[in-house]
C-alpha cells in the first residue's frame, strides 16, 4: 500500500454495523500496518443520513467505535453521530473510505413513494457525500454492500442498489470495491439476520477490499480520482474523544433554557423541530412502519417508527403538528398491542426523546417511513 511519501497518507474510515466486528477490525489493522495514519469512526445503523450535515444529528444506540493513532474508544451509545464535514475538518484526510449501503435498502424498497423517487433519493445521498469529500480535498473509496441472504433482500434489489451507488461514485471520480460481486452470504436464514457476516467470512471480505484499496492509495493506481481540489493539509492534532463533544441530537439552541415553560410557536412543515424533554399528547396515527413476520425479527425486542398527527398538546410545549414515535412493537418475540394500531386510531402518550434511553440500544428498529431527519424521534416514557 505504497512506500515513500504516500506511506503517511491520512485515512478517515467510516462504517456502519458491518464494520463493528471482524471486517472493520481487519480493515483498520491492515491500513495501520501499511503505515497509513488512520482515523476510524464506525456507528451501528449509520448511513449518509447520519453523516451529512444536510440532516439533523442522530443518536447511535447499537454501538460506536472510534480509533485514532493516539487512542481507541468503544461505546454502546452516543447522543449524536459526528458529521462528515466536521470529521474532515478535524482529521484533514487525504482519503476517505466509506463502508455503507445496507441501511439504504429500506429507502430503496419503500412503498411510500414512487420507485424512481427512492432511487433518486439514494443517488442524492451518495452525490452529496462525494461532493463534501471532494470539497475538502480528499479522494473517496467506497465499500459497497456485500451479498445478503436473498430471502432477506432479493438479488435484484441488491444489484439495483449497487448500480445506483456505482454510477454516482463514478460520476464524482471516486473509487469503490464492488463487494456484491466477490462475496456470498453463507449463513442460514432466518436463524441469522441474513446481513452480518461471521468473523471468518467478514475477514475474507476485508482482505479482498484491502487489495482493491491499495490501488487507490498509490498515486499511479488506476482507481485514483482524476481531479480533486488542492487543499493544504495541517497537522491533525486531534483526540478521538473530541468527536463525542459535538452538539447532541435535538439539543437546545444557545441561550434557551431546558426548563422554560413558555409555549413555543408551532413550526412550519419541513422545518427543524427542537426536541422537548417531555410531552403529553393526544394523537391520531397517520402512518407506521411495516412490521415483518416475527420469524424475520432478529432480536427478541423491536421498535417500530410511527408518525402521528397531534390532536391535542396537553402540556402546551410541543412545537409541531406531527410527531414520530419509536413504539415497542415486539417484546420477548411477541407482538405488543400497539403493533396492532392502525392509521386513524387515537391514542394518548406521554413521550420523551428516544435518546433518553440507552437501554433500548439492544432493540431492533423498523423504520421504512419517508426519511424526515428534521423531526426528532420520541418514545413512550417508562414508568
- The strand pairing partners of 366, in sequence order, are 304
List all residues 6 or more positions away from 129 whose beta carbon is below 8 Å from its beta carbon.
48, 51, 52, 84, 98, 140
**Among candidates 381, 375, 382, which has minimal Cα distance to 308?**
375
pLDDT digits (tens, 9 = 90+) for 279-315: 999 999 999 988 877 876 777 888 889 999 999 999 9
Q: In the prediction, which pLDDT does 260 show?
A: 33
Which one is predicted more confidently, 380 or 220?
Answer: 380
The band of 161, judged by pLDDT with boundaries at 50, 70 and 90, is very high
For residue 43, pLDDT beyond 70: yes
* Residue (of 275, 273, 272, 325) closest to 303 by Cα position: 325
Backbone angles phi, psi at 334, to 5 degrees: -130, 145
Give pLDDT, residue 240. 35
User: If DSSP codes are grouped into helix, strand and coil, which group holds residue 119?
Assistant: helix
By C-alpha distance, which of 98, 129, 100, 132 is closest to 213?
Answer: 98
Helical spans, DSSP H, in the chain? 22-33, 48-51, 84-91, 105-108, 115-135, 155-171, 199-217
Rounded Cα–Cα distance for residues 174 and 329 (Å): 41
Give the CA distances from residue 5 to residues 8, 192, 217, 227, 346, in Å, rounded to whole numbers and listed in that order: 7, 44, 11, 20, 65
- pLDDT, tens only, 116-138: 999 999 999 999 999 999 999 99
**DSSP code for 324:** E
Cut 0.75: pTM above it: no
DSSP string, 1-51: ---GGGGG-EEEEEE-GGGSSHHHHHHHHHHHHTT-EEEEEEETT--HHHH
The partner residues of 139 in beta bridges, in order of sequence, read 95
With beta carbons less than 8 A apart as the criterion, state whether 334 and 358 touch: no
pLDDT classification of 97: cutoffs 50, 70, 90: very high
Torsion angle, alpha carbons of 285, 373, 254, 78, to 10? 100
Number of H helices, E strands in the chain: 7, 14
**Weakest-pLDDT range from 185-194, 330-339, 340-349:** 185-194
Domains of the chain: 4-245 (3.40.50.1110), 279-380 (2.40.50)
User: Per mean pLDDT, which range of 40-44, 257-261, 324-328, 339-343 is the poorest?
Assistant: 257-261
The overall average pLDDT reported for the chain is: 82
Residue 350: per-residue pLDDT: 96
Q: What is the pLDDT of residue 227?
A: 34
| Grid cell for residue 189 | 436464514
pLDDT of residue 374: 58
Of residues 54 and 296, the one with the higher pLDDT is 54
**Does the structure show a pLDDT above 90 at 94?**
yes
Amino acid at each position: 500500500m505504497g512506500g515513500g511519501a504516500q506511506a503517511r497518507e491520512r485515512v478517515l474510515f467510516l462504517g456502519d454495523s458491518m464494520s463493528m466486528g471482524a471486517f472493520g477490525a481487519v480493515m483498520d489493522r491492515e491500513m495501520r500496518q501499511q503505515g497509513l495514519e488512520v482515523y476510524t469512526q464506525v456507528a451501528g445503523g449509520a448511513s449518509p443520513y447520519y453523516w451529512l450535515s444536510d440532516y439533523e444529528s442522530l443518536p447511535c444506540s447499537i454501538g460506536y467505535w472510534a480509533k485514532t493513532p493516539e487512542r481507541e474508544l468503544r461505546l454502546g451509545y452516543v447522543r449524536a453521530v459526528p458529521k462528515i464535514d466536521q470529521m474532515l475538518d478535524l482529521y484533514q484526510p487525504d482519503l476517505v473510505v466509506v463502508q455503507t449501503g445496507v441501511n439504504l435498502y429500506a429507502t430503496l424498497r419503500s412503498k411510500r413513494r414512487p420507485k424512481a423517487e427512492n432511487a433518486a433519493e439514494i443517488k442524492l445521498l451518495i452525490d452529496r457525500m462525494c461532493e463534501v469529500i471532494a470539497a475538502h480535498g480528499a479522494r473517496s473509496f467506497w465499500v459497497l454492500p456485500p451479498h445478503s441472504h436473498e430471502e432477506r433482500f432479493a438479488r435484484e434489489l441488491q444489484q439495483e442498489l449497487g448500480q445506483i451507488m456505482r454510477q454516482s461514485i463514478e460520476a464524482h471520480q471516486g473509487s469503490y470495491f464492488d463487494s456484491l460481486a466477490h462475496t456470498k452470504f453463507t449463513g442460514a436464514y432466518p436463524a441469522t439476520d441474513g446481513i452480518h457476516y461471521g468473523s471468518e467470512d467478514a475477514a475474507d471480505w476485508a482482505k479482498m477490499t484491502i487489495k482493491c484499496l491499495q490501488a487507490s492509495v498509490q498515486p499511479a493506481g488506476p482507481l485514483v480520482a482524476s481531479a480533486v481540489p488542492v487543499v493544504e493539509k495541517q497537522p491533525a492534532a486531534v483526540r478521538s474523544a473530541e468527536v463525542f463533544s459535538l452538539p447532541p441530537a435535538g439539543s437546545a439552541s444557545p441561550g434557551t433554557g431546558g426548563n422554560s415553560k413558555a409555549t413555543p410557536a408551532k413550526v412550519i412543515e419541513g422545518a427543524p423541530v427542537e426536541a422537548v424533554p417531555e410531552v403529553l399528547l393526544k394523537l391520531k396515527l397517520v402512518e407506521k412502519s411495516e412490521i415483518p413476520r416475527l420469524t424475520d425479527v432478529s432480536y427478541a425486542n423491536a421498535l417500530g417508527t410511527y408518525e402521528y398527527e397531534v390532536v391535542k398538546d396537553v402540556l402546551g410545549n410541543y412545537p409541531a403538528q406531527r410527531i414520530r414515535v419509536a413504539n415497542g412493537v415486539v417484546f420477548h418475540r411477541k407482538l405488543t398491542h400497539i403493533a396492532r394500531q392502525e392509521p386513524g386510531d387515537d391514542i394518548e402518550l406521554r413521550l420523551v426523546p428516544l435518546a433518553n434511553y440507552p437501554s433500548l440500544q439492544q432493540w431492533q428498529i423498523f423504520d421504512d417511513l419517508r426519511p424526515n431527519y428534521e423531526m426528532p424521534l420520541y418514545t413512550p416514557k417508562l414508568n
